[in-house]
Structure 1
Amino acid sequence: MGAIAFGQKSELVFFERDRQKAKDFVEQVYEGALFRFMDVLEHPDLMEDGVPVHRSSYTENWGQEHNITKMIWPAQFPDLNPIENLWMIMKRSVQKKHRSSMKLETFKHCIQEAWDEIDIETINHLIQSMPKQVKSLREKKGKSTRW
C-alpha cells in the first residue's frame, strides 16, 4: 500500500500474505503509514478503490472513529484514481527487473526501488490531470479512456 497527495507520497507498506483481514489491514496500514501520512496533510480526503477490506464494517468504523474523511468514489472507474496510473508506472519498472526465479525479498526490494524512484513532479502531474480525465470520461460517456 502506498498513498499520494499533491507534493507528497507515503512510505510503502507490504502486507503479510497470511494477514489480509480487515483488522490486519487497519493495524498494518491505517494505524501505521497511512495515519502518519494523513496526519501531516491539511484536510485530507481518502480515496480508495472497491477492495472488500476497504469497505468492511471494521475498516469503516475505525475510519469514522478517527475522523477519516473518505471520498465517495465509483469502484468501476479506476482510471480516475491518480494512484492507479502510478501503479502502472511502477509495474513497468518492476517488470524490467523482475525474474520469475527471484526470491520474495528481492522482489519486494524491486517494488520499493520503483516506489522510491517516483518523483514528486510525476505525482503532481497525475493529480493535476484529474480534470482532464473527468472531461475525457464524460466525452466517452463513461467508457474506457486513454488514462
Structure 2
Amino acid sequence: MVSMQTATPIKSCVPISVVPFVQRYRNCLFQQDNARPHTARATQDRLRHNSVNILPHPARSPDLNPIEHFWDIMQRRINALARRPRTAAELRAAVTQVWAQVPQQQIIHLVLSMYRRCATVINAQGGATRY
C-alpha cells in the first residue's frame, strides 16, 4: 500500500485531478481540510507550482467539511441498525443500504449550511464552534 504522504501519488494526483478542474473556472478557490496528505510540503509545492488558489482553512477544523457531518449521519444510522455489522462484507452492505436511505434534502442542507459554518468559524477566529 502506498502512503498518501509519498511524493508519487501527490505528483500524479494534483496535476491529473485538481489542476484541470480548478483551471476550468476563473477565480476558483480549492478547498481542502488540512488532512496530512493535503498539507504535505510536496502537495503544497505542487499546488503553488500550478497556481492553484487554496481557501485558507483552520487547522483540525471538521466544521468546514460537510462530508464529516455526513459520515456522522452514516455512523449513527449504522449503529442504530437492529443487527450491527460484524464483518467487512456486512459493513459494506450496511453502508450501501444506509447511504441509499439518507434523504437528499439532508445532504443539501449540509451543503447549504457552509455559508453559516464559515461565518461562525470566522467569528470564532478559527476557534471551536458548535459544529
Look up the match of 1:20.
3
Shift of residue 108, structure 1, vs aligned partner: 4.0
Question: 2:129 corresponds to which residue?
Answer: 144
- Secondary structure, in 3 states, of the residue corresponding to 1:88? helix
Return structure 1 stretches of 4+ with deviation > 6 angstroms.
Answer: none
1:96: how far off?
Answer: 4.1
Identity, in percent, stands at: 18
Deviation at 1:93, TM superposition (A): 3.3
Q: Is 1:92 matched up with 2:92?
A: no
Between Structure 1 and Structure 2, which shows a larger proportion of helix residues?
A: 2
2-side partners of 1:77 and 1:107: how far apart? 27
Query: Which range moved further: 87-96 or 118-127?
Result: 118-127
Q: Residues 46 and 71 of structure 1 are in contact (CA less than 8 Å); yes or no, is this contact kept in structure 2?
A: yes
Gaps of 5+ in 1: 1-17
1:78 and 1:102, CA in 2 relative to 1: closer, same or farther beyond 3 A?
Answer: same
Q: Show the counterpart of 1:133.
A: 117
State the partner residue of 1:63. 47
Task: For 2:40, give the aligned amino acid.
Answer: S
Q: TM-score if structure 1 supplies the norm length?
A: 0.56
TM-score normalised over the length of structure 2 = 0.61
Cα deviation digits, residues 68-126 of structure 1 (max 9, x gap): 33211001332133222222122223434542x312x5434544555565565434322
How many residue pairs match? The answer is 125
Flag the structure with more relative contact order, 1 or 2, with Cα contacts below 8 A and sequence separation at least 6: 1
User: Which residue number in structure 2 is paired with residue 48 of structure 1?
Assistant: 32
Asked if 1:107 is matched to 2:98, the reply is no
Q: CA deviation at 1:55?
A: 0.9
Distance 1:95 1:106 in 2: 13
**Partner Cα separation in structure 1 for residue 8 and residue 100 of structure 2:** 25
